[in-house]
Structure 1
Amino acid sequence: MSAPTPSKTWQQQLQMALRNQHPVNEHIIEANGYAPAAAKLFANVITEQMLQLIDPSKGSNDPVLAQFLPNSAETIETAGYSDDPVGDHEATQVPGLIHKYQSRVLLIASGSCAVNCRYCFRRHFPYSQSFAPRGHWQASLEYIRDNLSIHEVILSGGDPLTLETKTLQVLSDALQTMPQIKTLRIHSRIPVVLPQRIEAEFLQWAKKIKLNKVMVLHVNHAQELGTAARQAITDLKAAGFVLLNQSVLLKNINDSVEVLADLSRQLFESGVLPYYLHQMDAVQNAAHFTVPEPTAIKLHQQLLAQLPGYLVPKLVKEVAGQSSKTSLFK
């Protein structure tokens, strides 16, 4: 397939994804078991970049398509799974600000994503009620300013890079006036799923930030790392970001040692350090993605035997109410 049309701005490509306007979307998605009932529960959102990386010959088994295809299994309610598996609601201090862990807070900077991952742990998150609209973060900033124990601010969402750069600058400028804040961390899938977002204006802003800068990407399979994504990663590294990756262990997508080892190698070759491998959060309507914990531990042990330690991500799960991620390393 051809690459995404370069004449489209990243904003136009984002709007096409949000409005499901890609001509190729219907052909690929709906030919492989698209479930309208699942899309009503959680919208079908995918970028042109990701559509171009799907191998149609693999059908619904394609590891990229399987992450974004609304599936009839999502209509099943499963005991032990919840709408808030990681305890975001209880940890919300002011609308849009989650304070779970000592020394750092998470700001829900945007309720939008460029893609909707079907296993998303925030697929039921009440964004309209639980975060301040863009540019209206005064209560969150005051909370951060008044808590001198906070040294790191994490921008999350949704995806914070759906915001315009000038809006991100409002946040970074405010945080840089707080002497206790040392690190700005951004969690984003956009450098991979919408790499055109990493353009000159964004990079110029990033280079001017005086805080430590960390970008945590979310890549689950090496097939996601297209040419444009690799260039975006190179540009982010040149702009001074420390680049880490977190993956989610997903049944029939990356639950093999060969796939995980290849992902770690490809990330490292691109300039990204594999950091976390998450046991999937028990979010309602996504149980079909779950890999049993004993299987996850065995895979991790096999990965340790194949790769040098710095290429083996930490196997963790998030338990609501705990003071940190829970390690599953045995």
Structure 2
Amino acid sequence: MQTLRTLGDLEREGLLTPDPRLVEAARSMAIALTPEMLALIDRTDPADPIARQFVPSTAETEIAEAERADPIGDEARSPVRGIVHRYPDRVLLKPIHVCPVYCRFCFRREAVGPGGEALTAAELAAALAYIRERPAVWEVILTGGDPLMLAPRRLGELIAALDAIDHVGVIRVHSRVPIADPARVTEALVEALRPRRAGLWLAVHCNHASELAPAARAALARLADAGIPLLGQTVLLAGVNDAVDTLEALMRALVTARVKPYYLHHPDLVRGTGHFRVPIARGQELMKALRGRLSGIAQPTYVLDVPGGHGKVPIGPGYLADDPDALTVEDAFGGRHSYPG
């Protein structure tokens, strides 16, 4: 079966009913739903958490005043095509702008998809030269789009080019491929992800425990067995994972698959995605509940990407309160205790 790419494809699978507003929603962002993700959808559940992530909704036509086309300020921090330089010691490098699936909440939904900005050979050379000329850049984050959509040969060449830059100590790759299209994680791709000198980390985007199907677990195992450390990135999404039991199950599933939960992202102010956002106070409540249920290796950091390109900040709950004589510490189960400050 092929990846579903049109409203008609989704209609034939019984995932939506025709509505003129869906045409507008589909026009605002590409559609892609792989057979692997399709197989996870419960067709009898109108609120299925997998379908909610990938099937267009009429709610996408409702755009709030605060929502932005470039919610985290990539354009303002892009000195060279394909580069985003937000922090002194690291840069994003976006070599490709296609993905195996298109998440309806994507913060780059205005740029990714067929016909989106992909780097030419000359543009990639200029991006690498930018990194090479800046000794302060210690970490390069390959993102996009999805870097693992590159052919293994091209990916290997890019990893090797970065590895040859002495001051680049870490290469981080952000990908949905091991979850959404696990068959792409071949021996050739795994080999391409093994630089000789720099450390390489792979951050995997996963939002629900059911996404960790047997094929996805096998793909992650191939990566972990090759010595590639795996991180988990999750977006907090209303109707998908905004319940403590759901988040707990996801974090346990990730750790069992040898993926360390890294970030729980608060949804960005992407146009037409208000139906996915939860209040920050709710996210903090969920993080407090997780603290009492999960060990440290299963705890992500709850973060907000400050609109306008100002970077990520942790927004997790606090556990200290002022006291006239000492600090008051709240434990993971809600108990409060004095501690000499």
Tell me whether the two structures share a fold, i.e. TM-score over 0.5: yes
- Aligned mates of 1:322, 1:106 — CA distance in 2: 12
8 Å contact from structure 1 (residues 18, 114) kept in 2: no
Residue matched to 1:188: 175
Match of 1:10 in 2: none
Is 1:109 the counterpart of 2:109? The answer is no
User: Which residue is 1:164 aligned to?
Assistant: 151
Deviates more, 1:41-50 or 1:30-39: 30-39
Give the distance between the partners of 2:295 and 2:7, measured in 1 at CA: 43
User: Which of 248, 253, 265 is the equivalent residue of 2:235?
Assistant: 248
Name which of 118, 130, 141 aligns with 2:104: 118
Within 5 A, what are the aligned runs for 1:267-286? Answer: 267-286=254-273
Structure 1 window deviating more from structure 2 (157-166 vs 34-43): it is: 34-43
Equivalent in 180, 193, 208 of residue 221 of structure 1 = 208
- The AA in structure 2 aligned to 1:29 is L
Q: CA RMSD in A?
A: 2.2
Aligned partner of 2:53 among 67, 89, 102: 67
5+ residue gaps, structure 2: 318-341
- Cα shift at 1:32: 9.4
Could you say which structure has the larger radius of gyration?
2
Alignment gaps of 5+ in structure 1: 6-15
- The answer to whether residue 50 in structure 2 is matched with residue 84 in structure 1 is no
Mean alpha-carbon deviation: is it higher for 111-120 or for 132-141? 132-141
Q: C-alpha deviations, 1:289-328, integer Å up to 9, x for none? A: 0001111111111111111122111011001456641111
- Structure 1 position 204, deviation (Å): 2.4
Higher mean alpha-carbon deviation, 147-156 vs 22-31, is at 22-31
Give the conservation status (yes or no) of the 8 Å contact 1:206–1:239: no
3-state SS in 2 of match to 1:94:
coil
Contact kept? 1:24, 1:51, Cα under 8 Å: no
Q: Does 1:262 align with 2:243?
A: no
TM-superposed deviation, 1:269: 0.6
Indicate if the aligned counterparts of 1:108 and 1:157 stay in contact, CA closer than 8 A.
yes
Rounded Cα–Cα distance in structure 2 between residues aligned with 1:21 and 1:73:
15
Tell whether the 8 Å contact from 1:246 to 1:276 is kept in structure 2 after alignment: yes
More helix per residue: 1
Deviation at 1:119, TM superposition (A): 0.3
2:281 maps to a residue whose letter is P
Cα distance in 2 for partners of 1:113, 1:30 equals 22
Q: Compared with structure 1, are the counterparts of its residues 102 and 18 closer, same or farther at alpha carbon in structure 2 (3 Å cutoff)?
A: farther
Deviating more after overlay: 299-308 vs 126-135: 126-135
Shift of residue 240, structure 1, vs aligned partner: 1.9
TM-score by length of 2: 0.87
- In structure 2, what is the equivalent of residue 30 of structure 1? 16
Q: Are the equivalent residues in 1 in contact too, given 2:163–2:195 (CA < 8 A)?
A: no
In 2 relative to 1, CA 208–124 (structure 1 residues): closer, same or farther, beyond 3 Å?
closer
Is the 8 Å Cα contact of residues 182 and 211 (structure 1) preserved in structure 2? yes
Alpha-carbon distance between aligned partners in 2 of 1:187 and 1:64, rounded to the nearest angstrom: 20
The answer as to whether partners of 2:76 and 2:309 remain within 8 angstroms in 1 is no
Asked whether the equivalents of residues 156 and 188 of structure 1 are also in contact (C-alpha less than 8 Å), the reply is yes
CA positional deviation for 1:169: 1.5
Inter-CA distance 31–209: structure 2 relative to 1 (3 Å threshold): farther
Name whichever of 307-316 and 251-260 sits farther off: 307-316
Q: 1:315 aligns with which of 302, 305, 329?
A: 302
- Cα deviations by residue, 1:140-180 (Å, 9 ceiling, x for unpaired): 00000000001111110011111101111221121122110
Q: 1:74 to 1:322 in 2, by over 3 A?
A: closer
Deviation (angstroms), 1:257? 0.4
Alignment of structure 1 residues 170-181 onto 2, 5 Å = 170-181=157-168
Alignment partner for residue 39 of structure 1, among 17, 26, 43?
26
Distance 1:44 1:134, change over 3 A: farther
Aligned residues between the structures: 315
Q: 2 CA distance for matches of 1:209 and 1:24?
A: 44
1:100 aligns with 2:86: yes
Q: 2:143 aligned with 1:148, yes or no?
A: no
Deviation at 1:230, TM superposition (A): 0.1
2:195 is equivalent to residue 233 of structure 1: no
